[in-house]
Structures are given as structure tokens and as C-alpha cells.
């Protein structure tokens, strides 16, 4: 449980970063990739039990927390991410909120499955 909370808290960190600072699309993707690389190293070094399930759950939670943080800080997100202005003008607040949450959950699940699968594969390849 402790490792799940630790890993999932990265979603709050990214939500704060994207809302309060603003990151262009490729910079945000790069930041997430670097974060998941840290997750991968952590999962291998800590020898996470049931890595596929654990990483998928923690990452889905991270995505939910990131999306929730962005929804809570929607006005700051709009101010600091001007490159998405066309989306902000054509969508209502409820549509944007739903999009942030759904995107976070789906991306979190997919990335968690990928990282968990890589951790599992690496741990299985180390066994004699």
C-alpha cells in the first residue's frame, strides 16, 4: 500500500506542474516518460510483488489524481497552457473536466500496464 501511495502521488505532482507552470505537449510527454522510467527502476529494484497489477493500479490512480488536480486548478491550467486555447473555447467546463479525468485514467492504465509488464518481464528474466 505504501508503494502505491508513493507512486500515485506522482500524479498530483504532474497535475500541479501542468496546472501551475504549464508544459507544452512534448515537454509533458517527456516528463511523464522520465517519471515512468523512475517507476520502472523502482519496480525492479524494490522487486515489487505482482508488478503488473501493482503498477497498473498505482498508475491508474496517478492518472486520476493528475486529472483531478487539473480539474480543481482549471482556471490556472487555462492561463498557463495557452496552446490549448482552441479546446478551452469550444468545450464547456464539464466537458473539459470529464476529458481531463478520462484521459488521465486511460493513460495511467495503459502506461501502468506497460511499465508493470516490463518490470515483470525483467524480474522473471533474473530468476534462474
Which cell goes with 118? 516490463
pLDDT one-digit tens code per residue, 26-62? 898 999 999 999 999 999 999 998 999 999 999 999 9
Q: What is the pLDDT of residue 105?
A: 96
What residues does each domain of the chain span? 2-126
pTM of the model: 0.89
Residues of the chain with pLDDT under 50: none
Q: What is the pLDDT of residue 128?
A: 67
DSSP for 69-105, written as a single string: HHHHTHHHHHHH-GGGHHHHHHS-HHHHHHHHHHHHH
Q: What is the pLDDT of residue 87?
A: 76
Query: How many helices (H) does the chain have, and how many strands (E)?
Result: 6, 0
Amino acid at each position: 500500500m505504501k508503494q502505491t501511495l508513493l507512486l500515485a502521488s506522482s500524479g498530483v505532482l504532474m497535475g500541479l506542474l501542468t496546472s501551475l507552470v504549464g508544459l507544452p505537449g512534448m515537454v509533458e510527454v517527456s516528463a511523464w516518460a522520465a517519471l515512468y522510467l523512475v517507476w520502472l527502476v523502482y519496480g525492479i529494484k524494490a522487486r515489487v510483488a505482482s508488478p503488473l497489477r501493482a503498477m497498473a493500479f498505482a498508475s491508474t490512480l496517478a492518472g486520476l489524481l493528475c486529472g483531478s488536480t487539473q480539474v480543481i486548478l482549471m482556471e490556472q491550467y487555462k492561463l498557463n497552457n495557452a496552446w490549448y486555447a482552441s479546446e478551452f473555447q469550444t468545450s464547456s467546463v464539464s466537458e473539459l473536466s470529464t476529458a481531463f479525468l478520462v484521459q488521465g485514467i486511460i493513460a495511467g492504465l495503459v502506461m501502468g500496464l506497460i511499465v508493470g509488464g516490463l518490470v515483470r518481464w525483467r524480474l522473471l528474466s533474473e530468476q534462474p
